Chains A and B, each alone.
Chain A
Amino acid sequence: MSRLRQGSGAQARLRTEGRLAETFARLRKDGRPGLVTYVTAGDPDLDRTGGILQALGRGGADVLEVGVPFSDPLADGPVIQRATERALASGTTLAAVLDLVADLRAGLPPVVVFSYANPILRLGAERFADRARDAGVDGVLVLDLPIEEAGEFRTLLASRGIDTILLLSPTTTDERLRKAASLGSGFLYAISRLGVTGARDRIADGAQEMVRRIRAVSSLPVALGFGISKPEHVREVGRWADAAVVGSALVGVIAEAGSSHDLTTRVEEYVRWLKS
């Protein structure tokens, strides 16, 4: 029993030195706002997702969120819903996404697997945690697994050196913010607005206040997402958060490029533009 505790303590220490923590520490040291990118794995197909992830790394993305397609993405807007449909049509599964990460991870920025609960539960939470560790996954975010349901899963991940990324929303109470601050690791993902994912013209009014509320209870890095699509958004968010998350806008770029030969070039250019 004491050996077990010792073991998990060693792993917990390891975790604080994980690649996500390192990345955000470096960003803070350089005084540079970070860019977290989201893509739906398997859109247009898993081979090309590999090329896209590498292009995102070359273009300067600091953290890669890799979305696992799920048949019922109830937290997502139309752009990611359609990407999900394309990814499922191309036969993408959670297991295949983990294999892809395993193949490419050495040359990539830190990878966060972004999923709904059911594909993970279907694989088995423990089996998923093992395979995610073997693949070199740095963090896991489960959209429909709020803090109250995430307890055991978080322990499974932590004991394998994987960060649990928790979502925070404008509706999250201060009490729950404190709970998330003590249970989350790697970084906290703040949702800038009510509603589903999707690009918007401007940053939500309450976003800065939201980040301030989180900062008051946590020293974890904060990435702000939902509605971010332009370099000026990334710069603005970078003034008060550690990183901006760009999802739907990037997924839109990929959808537009489709299967054309310059898909990865366009993705790389888009990331460079976002960081300009």
Chain B
Amino acid sequence: MTDVKRVDVVNPTEPERPLFGRRDPDARGYFGPYGGRFVPETLVAPIEELAAGYFAARADAAFRDELERLLTHYVGRPTPLYEARRLAEEAGKAKGVRILLKREDLTHTGAHKINNALGQALLARRMGKRRVVAETGAGQHGVATATACALLGLECHVYMGAEDMRRQALNVVRMELLGATVRRVDAGSRTLKDAINEAMRDWVANVTDTYYLLGSALGPHPYPLMVREFQSVIGREARRQMLDQVSRLPDVVVACVGGGSNAMGIFDGFMDDAGVRLVGVEAGGERIAPGRHAARFAGGSTGVLQGTRTFVLQDEAGNIELTHSISAGLDYAAVGPEHAWLRDLGRTEYAHVSDAEALGGFQALARLEGILPALESAHAVAYTMQLARDVDEGTIILINLSGRGDKDVQSVMEALR
């Protein structure tokens, strides 16, 4: 990790941008022992082309300017930092705990996914690729990708597990309305992991004209780096907003972790602030037992899945275990490699909450603040409510509210019934 001195923002009217090139992995794409490029030979050359294309793009002021213009005028950035007083009162009782929400749910398309989808779609166009493939779990990345492709005039194919299509039916319609083709995946657990397999198979077959727009900080190098850098705008904004609105940094930053892109995005802004605890919340599902959860740091071990070496849920023979979470976006067997490394370094920590607890977080935020969070983000809310009981008086907790919950109304209704 390069050690760069942080310079506090001097001009508060200047918009925050994604931050590029500050914490690159090594030349082979490793964050410590995690990361790398474990791909079939056919993908090596396209991935090298992608890395070269990305490094050229991020060094190009015109590329960065266009991204920034779209983030401001199309996505609606900066997103607000909102203090959830009633939630804090309920959770922290009389201890004066303060809870702030970084409102990524208020972006165009309703989740942080658009930050990365737009960045990569611009890159695809810059690289002359007219056809984009993507995977989606909850459908938020699929919707974001379909949106970016519509905006930039790119052909878009989104792979989605049959089980996820069922629980996120609304997002399927949204993608189709945006002109994307949604391709149903019936293999394996019929969720995010299987959609990624299928998207990679498509890419292998169509490498010459196709760009694979991966949605989380996962996969072979340079995806974990690239996705984190496109999401880093969240943390940059949040840090400045904390200083502007609260006059100090938070004590704890909490974000849900599926692949881990929203968490990497907000953590990145506070990485050098040693006093700020960074906590990722994984999906505890029904309970921590094989096939019943998606908490990689609770039940996983080092392995290779879908191009990267990281923490995965696997059996004794090295086969990937099935996962379960009430939230499709957290229902994945591997975690982004940089999370595994930051955890080894002791810079980040990870917890998990169950389906039932996440539902409690969903309901609490709805009733106390009038905000329906995505079930993914509800995991961060639920964990924060537990944390608020145990922390010191006056502790400030910042939650990355990564997405909005409209897409989950059906699932929540079924679960509460």
Contacts and interface: CB of A to CB of B under 8 A. Distances in A.
Contacts of B208: 194
Interface stretch (A88-96, A240-248, A255-263): A88-96
Given A74-B200, A148-B37, A194 B42 contact: yes
Given A167-B41, A196-B201, A144 B317 contact: no
Given A72-B188, A75-B204, A122-B314, A171 B42 contact: yes
B320 interface: yes
Interface residues of A, number: 40
A194 B205 contact: yes
A77 B38 CA distance: 18
A168 B318 contact: no
Interface string B17-44: 0000000000010000000111111111
Contact of B207 (A116, A120, A166, A194): A194
B189 to A, nearest CB: 9
Contacts of A116: 304
Given A121-B302, A123-B318, 11 more contacts: A77-B201, A117-B304, A118-B305, A118-B314, A119-B318, A122-B316, A144-B304, A167-B40, A168-B41, A195-B201, A196-B201
Main secondary structure of the interface of A (DSSP, over half): loop
Interface of A: 69-75, 77, 81, 88, 93-95, 116-123, 143-146, 148-149, 166-173, 176, 191, 194-196
Nearest to A171: B45
- 7 cross-chain pairs, A with B, having the tightest CB-CB distances, nearest first: A122-B318, A195-B205, A119-B318, A93-B317, A71-B319, A169-B42, A171-B45
Given A168-B41, A169-B42, A170-B42, A196 B205 contact: yes
Contacts, number: 113
A170 B196 CA distance: 23
A144 B40 contact: yes
22 contacts: A72-B193, A72-B197, A72-B305, A117-B38, A118-B319, A119-B317, A119-B318, A121-B302, A121-B303, A121-B304, A121-B318, A122-B314, A122-B317, A146-B41, A148-B28, A149-B37, A149-B38, A169-B41, A171-B42, A172-B41, A191-B42, A194-B205
A145 B38 contact: yes
A242 to B, nearest CB: 19
B28 A118 contact: no
Given A118-B303, A172-B41, A70 B205 contact: no
Contacts of A173: 45
A120 B318 contact: yes
Interface in B183-229: 187-188, 193, 196-197, 200-201, 204-208
Nearest to A189: B41
